Each structure stands twice: as C-alpha cells, then as structure tokens.
Structure 1
Amino acid sequence: MKSRSQLRWALHAALAVSALSSVGMAQEKNSAPSSSPNPSPASKQIVPSTPSQTAAVPIESIYEPREYVGASNQTLKYRLMKPYQYSFGKKYPLVVFLHGAGERGDDNVSTLKHGAKDFADEARRKEFPAYVLIPQCPKDKKWSEVDWSKPSSELPDQASDSMQLLKELVDEMVENAGVDTERIYITGLSMGGYGTWDAIARYPNFFAAAAPICGGGDPKTVERFRNLPIWCFHGAKDPVVKVIRSQEMIEALKKVGGNPRYTEYPDLQHDSWTVTYKNPEFYTWLFAQRKSNVSE
C-alpha cells in the first residue's frame, strides 16, 4: 500500500502530465522566462549567456508553489520547477537552491528574485532537464544558525529548523518523486551560501556537487567533503560577507587534498550571484557531476 506522501507525489505527477498535454505544453514549447536585464560586471572568467529569444512566461507559472509539513508539524513553503517535458517514471537531477536573507518570509514569491529565471531559461531546461527546488526560509530564521557579522564561525551542533525541514523534504522527493540520487546538487547565495556549506558538512555523502556563493562555513569541517566537487564564488569587494569567508574554506580544502574551483570577481561587491547564474559554464559543470565519481 502506498503511503500518503507517495500518493501525494503521484497525484502531482499525474497533474503535471495532464497539464503538459494541454495548455502547459504550448507554454513549454513556445516560451521562456525573461532574464535579468542588467547583469553585474564580471571578471574575465565569465561570459554571460544569451537568453532564449522567445516570449516570456511568468516565472511564477514555471515554479509551482507548495508547502511541506514536517514530522514535527512545522511547515516549509517552497517552489518546485519540474523537468522540461517531464516523463513519469524517469529519474531526474535535483538542484536545491538556497536564497539569501532578503528573501525570507512566507509569501513564497520573493524567493524567485535571484537565480530562478536563469535555471528556468527554456534552452537551459531543454539541455539540462531537472527539478529545481527553492525553499523559503521563514522570517528571522536561517539556513545555518551562525553570526554573519563575525569573521569566522563554527558549525552549530544541530541543523537549523529550516535546514532540518529542507532535508526531510528532499528525502521525501528522493523516495517518491523520481529523483536521480547520483545527481543531487546544492547552491545558494549569501545566507544561502552559508546554508550550502552547512548542508555539505552535515550530509557529506548526499550531494554530487555544491556551489556556494558569497557565503562562509567552518574550515574545520572540510575533511568531511574534501572530495566533493565544489565551485565557490565571491566578490573581492564584498562589504556584507567578507571574501575571507570563502577564501578560508578553499584554502582549508586544498590543505586536506581537496580540489575545489574558486572564482573571485575582483570588481564585484556582494552581488556575485547574478553573473554566476548567467554563466553557461556553470551549468555545464554542475550537471556533469555524479556522486559515483566522488571518491571517499
């Protein structure tokens, strides 16, 4: 007998297939979300992508609004983009996207402000069909309960409430939604960058790759994920999260034999995510990673 969660995901899948067979399919085939008009200046390493030249579909219609009720009856609102031309029974990669502090709340809309449009670009969705999960951290909560104002931090003993709920949600998706466990990725910006470092330290054998942007972590934890493919980004002139926070994580990884990629934008301040999520090389790298290729 199927569990309630299995039935729920089966219903979502059936509705998705039904929608794709009617109006939704026409939107998928003929439209793409618009990209941000003014990308930030970049270092020479980055070439912005060209957005799909098709009529725009509202981003809210691409990412379905949902709410997860956890084991402790706490709730986590989230948005979910299904793979392009989703096929029931097939397994797809999952990208977990962690927003920054400014997008906290309960509207389940502000989380689409950064990055979501870039993942939803029509040409990109065709090339890399995947689930993209964007949870919303409640106001006054954090993905990782650390003090951002300090020059360093230690991994808290317990995951934050929001991180625990997120992990429960992802585990449920893995069980019921056709997720390829070889290809679960995590990325996040600012507060979400901290959350990304926190997640891979707590669940080091769960992800296939991580891309923290302008965040920070605990350098003492890097041995846990030293072989995980990581591409870290930060603006050299960041006044909000000092660049040393990323630099110290990268240096710590290298000292224990890790081989992370690191892009530091010499002229950027806090917004190092706009140019990153517009870089086509980022997506090629991310979706090429497989957990089975990560040595223990």
Structure 2
Amino acid sequence: MKIPINILFILLGTMVFLASSGNSFGQDKDLFQKKTFQFSNGDSLLYRILFPKDYEKGKEFPLVLFLHGAGERGNDNEKQLIHGASLFLEEENREKFPAIVVFPQCPEDQYWIDISIRSELRGKGDPDFDQTKNAPSEELTMVNKLVEHLVKNEKVNKKRLYLMGLSMGGFGTFETLGRWPKKYAAAVAICGGGNLSLTKKYAKNTAVWIAHGAKDDIVPIELSEKIYNQLKDQGAEVMFTVYPDANHNSWDPTFENPALLPWLFSHKK
C-alpha cells in the first residue's frame, strides 16, 4: 500500500517528536539521582533525589517529599517518577522554587499505610480508617528515617519541609502528618483519605491542600471530604479543590494548577 506523501510526513514528524521528547524526558529524569538508603538491620529503601542547580553555593533549601501511588511500587527505582517528577524538572519551576525533591519507592505488594485499603475503598470496612495500627507502617517509618537522614546530612531548611502524595501516596500523606505532626510546613494530598482520629494532631501545625476528582471511581471523593471537614472544624489552614471532570487522575489538573507550587513554597514553620 502506498502511503500519501502528506500522511507520510505527518507520521515521520510524529515519530521524530516522540523520540526526541522521550529522550529529553529520559535525560531530565536522570537529574533525579538514584540512591539506596541502608538501615542497620539490613533493610533498604530505594529513592530518587533531585538537587537544586546552585546546591553547592552553601545556602539551605526546602525539601519536598513525594509519595507515589500503588501503581508505581516496585524495585526498579524508576516507576515512582512517572507522576510528579516532571513538575519539579520544569525549568521555570527549578528557577523559581529551588528545592531538594525526594521520591522514595514503596516495595511491590506493600503500602504506605498498614491497612487493607481495598476493603475500605469498597465500603466493606471502617470508612474513617480508625482501625489503623497505633504505629506507622514499616515502609512509612523507613521514609521518615530517610527524611531525618537528609535533614541532618544535606543543606535542608528545617522550617521548610513539604509533603506531597497521590492515591496511595495521598493516604500516606495524611498518615505521615498524623505520625510526625510537627515536621511539615505544608502538604498536598491528592485523591487520598485516611485516619480521621489523627487529624487533631496536625490540624494546627501544617497547611493542607486536598485535591480530588469528582468522577473518581477508585478512591471515593467522600474520603477527602471527610478529612477536609474534620480539619476545617479543627481550625486548620486547609483547602479542598474538586476537579469536576477528573476521574482518579486528579493529579494531572493538580500539577497543571499554577497556584500549586507558589502555595506550597510560601509556607514555613
């Protein structure tokens, strides 16, 4: 079959664009250095870390911890960058908001929180997640130790620690705030939910921006609404943004929101 010359040019142009953009993004992702945090008991945590351009100049920088979703779990130290990494790699954002950005990777078949999420999402358990363990999960504990290590050993401004997470990472965001309530100046929780009994611990300590898609058929929007209403009643600095046309991918309009990073980086302890 002979392909019309105009269609051929379009196809070739598309292939070149995809190849070049893929290589470009691949190079950008390499700016996130691959690291492994080793623990004394033999456990380890994979993570990627992005340093500001002028990191060596001696000043302290904000630190952003990003918790990925269930689909990005594994042991390749790559998948956790699928969602969110490009936001911090954009040249304009690197110039305006220089920061140390950390993406740990949760192992396959593990979760940031120690509950059977699926049962809760399907309405078969406690929708308020009050049955979570008294202690954080092993994975979240490891992440906290990593943050402590970075704060101690890197040029981190302790008053400007930030937290972001989506889906499973949204649950992990609320759980982290509840377990270490005085650590983070601001947090963004996307399409998540969590233990309502923990909100009182961080309501007065951390500014929270909650985002959810109105058409989400994976994580019910009611879970974000419950956290928001509880935090609002407790006098927290909290915002709730609902994207009316978004399904579970509400992180896409969240990352495209021009107010996101200015809001996040404007907070400090």
TM beyond 0.5: yes
Output aligned runs, 1:70-149, within 5 Å.
70-149=39-118
For 1:245 and 1:147, locate their aligned partners in 2 and report how far apart those are by CA, in whole Å: 15
Determine what percentage of the aligned residue pairs are the same residue. Answer: 37
Q: Residues 194-233 of structure 1: CA distance to partner in whole angstroms, max 9, x if unpaired?
A: 0000000000001111101001111121111112200000
Rg larger in structure: 2
SS class of match (2:53)? coil
Could you tell me which amino acid in structure 2 is paired with residue 185 of structure 1?
Answer: Y
Higher relative contact order (CA 8 A, sep 6+): 1
Shift of the alpha carbon at 1:146? 2.0
**Equivalent in the alignment of 1:280:** 258
Structure 2 length normalisation: TM-score?
0.85
Could you tell me which amino acid in structure 1 is paired with residue 201 of structure 2?
Answer: R
For 1:115 and 1:58, locate their aligned partners in 2 and report how far apart those are by CA, in whole Å: 16
**Equivalent in the alignment of 1:246:** 224
For 2:167 and 2:44, locate their aligned partners in 1 and report how far apart those are by CA, in whole Å: 23
Shift of the alpha carbon at 1:254? 1.4
Contiguous gaps of at least 5 residues in structure 2 = 1-17, 19-23
Deviating 4+ runs (over 3 angstroms):
none
Structure 1 length normalisation: TM-score?
0.78
**Equivalent in the alignment of 1:202:** 179
**Equivalent in the alignment of 2:12:** none
Relative to its length, the structure with more helix (as a share) is 2
Shift of the alpha carbon at 1:57? 6.3
Q: Residues 267-295 of structure 1: CA distance to partner in whole angstroms, max 9, x if unpaired?
A: 2110000111122210000000001xxxx
Residues 236 and 267, structure 1, Cα contact 8 Å, conserved in 2: yes
Which has the higher mean CA deviation after the structures are superposed, 96-105 or 215-224?
215-224
Contiguous gaps of at least 5 residues in structure 1 = 1-36, 38-54, 292-296
For 1:259 and 1:79, locate their aligned partners in 2 and report how far apart those are by CA, in whole Å: 30
Give the number of aligned pairs: 238
For 1:58 and 1:274, locate their aligned partners in 2 and report how far apart those are by CA, in whole Å: 22
Output aligned runs, 1:1-296, within 5 Å.
58-149=27-118, 150=120, 151=123, 152=127, 153-154=129-130, 155-227=132-204, 228-291=206-269
